[in-house]
Structure 1
């Protein structure tokens, strides 16, 4: 095949080039609702997209397309800083400007398709090396669907505005921090089936590791009202372990058929491990905080204690 340039309508060439055996790894910034017809991926493939809140609200990345790929068994991750559009198969690489969307088929786009093994390896390494990725699962998808329905145009980094699309794991200024004990409960059959389905979709050996994860937190409205940007430190019920910080990533979501209950999406670092409470208390005491009160639920008012707590995980 060699190396060929295709433009201004390259999508037929892209679709034909990636219909090969073996896993495909793709980094496509934005997906339209019809993306699966242009970018046919299957179980075992890896897809990284920009499914940030800004991209979804601006209708640049479609939750419908994300759901299609998840249902097909594709491992899908989101990177808020992604602006590249590249694909690597076992034998070919696609490098160009084309997003997977109907609007891209109408625009003047250009790509290079090559079977040069060094370039194929470089594209694969680029995709696998993308940082700040979050695994897209059902919780992420539900949140993205809600953002899509808001439908408010938000400037897109690298497209209509400058700067990075995500302020990072922690907000620049933490409004509030809380210690909260975890509550154990037995999931019902429906939850167990859902969790098992999501677990089958996790393919840690393929592609880059997810740096962030989203999880669901349910609490009672009579408790402290949480706000987006609040930071939570969860301690196990037996006061054995303190988990790394989690940031509230959504407004309160009412839970039907559960009066007084509400939920929030929490964002946390997937690569941080819990610390024994006794060790945390010792390290905090060495820093001048002999009574951090990790064994009771409370709001952490001291700015220096908040900094010291984050420092337990080098944050």
Structure 2
């Protein structure tokens, strides 16, 4: 393997590199709730994190993730001074900036992965030598849960949020994303009036230059297919083009004179262009997702795939 550099989206490479036998030792400063999908540790592994009161209150280390690892048999330790991200397996070392969080998957991160024996040994020594250690047990988890509940999220790039210089478009954390095929239909006069009325009410709250941010209308005919504000939709048409993300910007709006139909306002960026499905599949494969299922309507569960899809438009 040698030594390789991975950025700006290294998590698929990290996850693959550490799927090996033997105990893994990891020092990862901050953990999001979805850390176990990025950092698949098991019984016998060691995980050192910064689960200090300040980190938990700032919502950069999640008690849910801590509890998952403890229940899985991982030995979890907390060090308030930890700010490094280092993983050592029996054959590889991963050294870089990436925390185990959704925010890290959408930030520009970088890691070096190497099988150099000296570097692997040095990484292991570093992790085993971290001081001011507290064992994460049930009492620790109970206290951490209390601190989380009284704290608040602090936006730190790659840790607990995203920092943007312009109007927010995507939610700070994209936790629900759906792939949908475009269905052509002719809206009735009543539906057009409903859409025009709702768009007029909402336009003042969307802000931003009109040339960049626009509202579109999306109709659903099944109330069981519920969407929520902040959900992200990725549309494709006839397997030829995949369109930039649209964000649900309203609650469900009933469409008069229909039995079950309702609509949502979607916030879109007019400056983003569609990508061919073929190009998208190639880019996603390069990011570690060779089978993204772009031809099937579904909810995208994988946090790393969600991040990879957003990277098609550098979001």
TM-score, normalised to structure 1's length?
0.49
TM-score, normalised to structure 2's length?
0.49
